[in-house]
Structure 1
């Protein structure tokens, strides 16, 4: 399957299916969340259920151009728009982008939505955003350096990149053992791709969900530095579900600036 699959097309269809099945990251925020954001009481997540520290954000979002990168689903983008930012949501799934438009229509918000691959932001000119907000989604992307280079290009000088990503070590464990008996059984060498599993095992572990890829910290953090970013903050958190949460961090998040 590895050689015959276009990961962008496959994951586009897979995330559209996730919307249909009600995946928690496809459920739009409610009116009360938008009302709170309009009143100045807001938060969004990069990793799991952990709110991004407010100190990572500009003091005032009013007029800030924010790109929510691979961040569809009607969650972060509408909240940031209600808080005053000029928001563009860029995502690979048409149905995820529909979620953002649903909230925007319901709440009278201005949210621009753009369909595409996170590695190619050619639709945007250089230096057009103040913030790139990139929650845990590059786990669905086979290579990361183009993501960091494009994020750097579209940010203005002094602009902020916030990125959440998976701890690659969580991919070493056998998925059925984790999900069916809550056991940590070391099985997979890294780097890992769900494409590398036999078809029957992939269906058992992932169903018809998106392809996932592990990425080293060299690719995640070193890639941001190689693209030109300066790292300012780093946090970690356990995975929001599963046995690994008892023993290790499942998520990392970084804040970086374009000098």
Structure 2
């Protein structure tokens, strides 16, 4: 099946359902960003440290990669960045366009697959900002290689992801707060579904998720040529976070 198309439909549906990552930022958020104060996320709860960004974002070229939803892109544009939002979901991109029109922001939106940045020339961007998104693709390495290519020398790659250990547990029991190890890693959503369940899963426009090895998530950045210089872990409201962090974020330099 077309995995990219399925996940495009899934995220369009999530916009219709109004999940938290599809809700545009407020005018107050934009006002604060214009005054140099902003709060954006690569993962769930923790904000990206302000020190990860230049003191002045004016003229800084930023690619918000798989980052639609009317949140990070508009904030960075209001702070002075020259922002391009690149996402597979038209509905997510429309949220960015809504904020840009509402707040008179200069922001470009482009529909596309995060693994293929061929429309962008080498050495184009100062920052590539990629929040939790690679869980929806089977191979993360093209994302790292392409991000490295389109960044300028000394450019920054900011990346957030789930910790792959979460996919060890039975999904249905997880929803009941029971953490039973039943899956092998690497994992994808169909591994714990029978044929009937898989058909229903697709019909309901659910997103297909993949786990990745730490060797790929961290080592893949290094192989692409990056030097990782910043790192933090994060949690959300899941019961599992009583026992371990669920996310991590890195900053890497070209």
What TM-score bracket applies, with the shorter chain setting the length?
over 0.9
Q: Secondary structure at the match of 2:212?
A: coil
Kept in 1: contact 2:11–2:92 (CA 8 A): yes
Match of 1:54 in 2: 50
1:227 to 220, 224, 237: 224
Q: TM-score, structure 2 length as denominator?
A: 0.96
* Distance in 1 of aligned mates of 2:36 and 2:133: 27
Kept in 2: contact 1:50–1:237 (CA 8 A): yes
Kept in 1: contact 2:46–2:234 (CA 8 A): yes
Q: Secondary structure at the match of 1:100?
A: helix
Aligned residues: 252
Q: Secondary structure at the match of 1:51?
A: coil
Match of 1:147 in 2: 143
Match of 2:177 in 1: 182
Match of 2:243 in 1: 247
Q: What is the deviation of 1:243?
A: 1.5
* Distance in 2 of aligned mates of 1:198 and 1:253: 34
Kept in 2: contact 1:170–1:250 (CA 8 A): yes
Q: What is the deviation of 1:237?
A: 1.2
Per-residue displacement from partner, 1:155-186 (whole Å, max 9, x unpaired)? 0000000000110000011111121x211111
Q: Does 1:212 align with 2:209?
A: yes
CA RMSD in angstroms, aligned pairs only: 1.5
Q: Secondary structure at the match of 1:36?
A: helix
1:134 to 123, 130, 133: 130
1:195 to 185, 190, 200: 190
Q: What is the deviation of 1:207?
A: 5.1
* Distance in 2 of aligned mates of 1:20 and 1:209: 13
Q: Secondary structure at the match of 2:174?
A: helix
Q: Does 1:73 align with 2:69?
A: yes
Match of 1:93 in 2: 89
* Distance in 2 of aligned mates of 1:252 and 1:230: 16
* Distance in 2 of aligned mates of 1:199 and 1:15: 23
Q: Secondary structure at the match of 1:50?
A: coil
After superposing the two structures, state which structure 1 stretch, 34-43 or 117-126, moved more: 34-43
Residue segments in structure 2 that go unaligned for 5+ positions in a row: none
Match of 2:6 in 1: 10
